[in-house]
A and B are shown apart, each in its own frame.
Chain A
């Protein structure tokens, strides 16, 4: 009886050691995998935020510039960060009432101002690190080259993306 007990106990101890070590290895793997998944997820979310903000802001600026007839040179600042673009334009593509629209940087975010009412084009967590307009003048039209760079802090690094576009002021054709 005593002999039997001792034998059983020995096997159980060996088993326990095996189980514990296997479980420890598995737990380490599980934790590592879950952590890396979380990192990948948060990085993907941050990249997505920057690219969505960038494409939205650039798309909106493109449309506003296309709609415009002239650049208000006195209120605009070109070729430096942060640039300011002031446009003689219309209220919207379906409302031809004259309007002044201004695009500039405030609190590191892109702002569109329409007849004194302003709103942000980018979200608070995306920082605009470069915001440059360049004026292009040709004998027949005026155009604007837009260069923007947005940045957001991710867990381990900073995610930064640049967006470029050039747009002709459609109403500037002569």
Chain B
């Protein structure tokens, strides 16, 4: 009797230990997973900062291209992905694909702008040769996941050349 009681008591402690161990390890694995996710988010956040500067840069670059002469904007093909290149002291648009820092892909699509009879920008109407719509897109791969930032701006023939 005493023998049987002893061994059954020992058996319960072993089960208890195993349960405790599994709870502790599950908690730890969860914590480790959380820290991995946190680390990934920090990485992604820093790429987003870099990406938003690239987005901002493309606006200024296009303004500089416009300041070079409206012809360099109006001659760009419409509805086609363009990339920005910097060479010998000036920005220009090209169709040659380039990756920035081997990670970021920045594309700019130039679109035609239409105006309604009230001279407001509309989806249809008269084509305005002195305004262009720019769709800027920055995208990159974040551990197999595609992340993209995009925005739209208009550029006008400010100096009416």
Chain A interface (Cβ < 8 Å from any Cβ of B):
4, 7-8, 11-12, 15, 18-19, 22, 26, 29-30, 33, 36-37, 40-41, 43-44, 47-48, 50-51, 54-55, 58, 62, 134-141, 143, 145, 161-168
Chain B interface (Cβ < 8 Å from any Cβ of A):
2-3, 6-7, 10, 13-14, 17-18, 21, 24-25, 28-29, 31-32, 35-36, 38-39, 42-43, 45-46, 49-50, 53-54, 56-57, 60-61, 63-64, 67-69, 86, 89-91, 100-101, 158-159
Contact B46 A51 (CB under 8 A): yes
Contact B64 A168 (CB under 8 A): yes
CB distance from A15 to the nearest CB of B (A): 6
List, in ascending order, chain B residues with CB within 8 A of A55's CB.
49, 53
Contact A166 B3 (CB under 8 A): no
State the majority secondary structure of interface residues on A: helix
Contact A164 B14 (CB under 8 A): no
User: Given the complex of chains A and B, what is the CA–CA distance between A43 and B39 in angstroms?
Assistant: 8
Q: Of A15, A58, A135, A163, which one neighbours B13 at CB under 8 angstroms?
A: A15
CB distance from B130 to the nearest CB of A (A): 15
Contact A11 B6 (CB under 8 A): yes
Given known contacts A26-B21, A41-B35, A161-B46, is B64 in contact with A143 (CB within 8 Å)?
Answer: yes
Given known contacts A15-B13, A165-B56, is B68 in contact with A48 (CB within 8 Å)?
Answer: no
Contact A164 B54 (CB under 8 A): yes
Determine which residue in B2, B29, B49 has the highest number of CB atoms from chain A within 10 A of its CB, and name it.
B49
Some 18 contacts from A to B, beta carbons below 8 A apart, are A8-B6, A11-B10, A15-B10, A33-B28, A33-B29, A40-B36, A40-B38, A40-B39, A51-B50, A134-B86, A135-B89, A136-B89, A138-B90, A139-B69, A143-B60, A161-B50, A162-B50, A162-B101
List, in ascending order, chain A residues with CB within 8 A of B56's CB.
62, 165
6 A-B pairs with least C-beta separation? A51-B46, A138-B67, A140-B67, A44-B42, A40-B39, A37-B35
Given known contacts A55-B53, A164-B100, is B68 in contact with A138 (CB within 8 Å)?
Answer: yes
CB distance from B27 to the nearest CB of A (A): 10
List, in ascending order, chain B residues with CB within 8 A of A40's CB.
35-36, 38-39
Contact A136 B91 (CB under 8 A): yes
**For residue B34, which residue of chain A has the nearest CB?**
A37
Determine which residue in B3, B24, B46, B56 has the highest number of CB atoms from chain A within 10 A of its CB, and name it.
B46
List, in ascending order, chain A residues with CB within 8 A of B45's CB.
48, 51
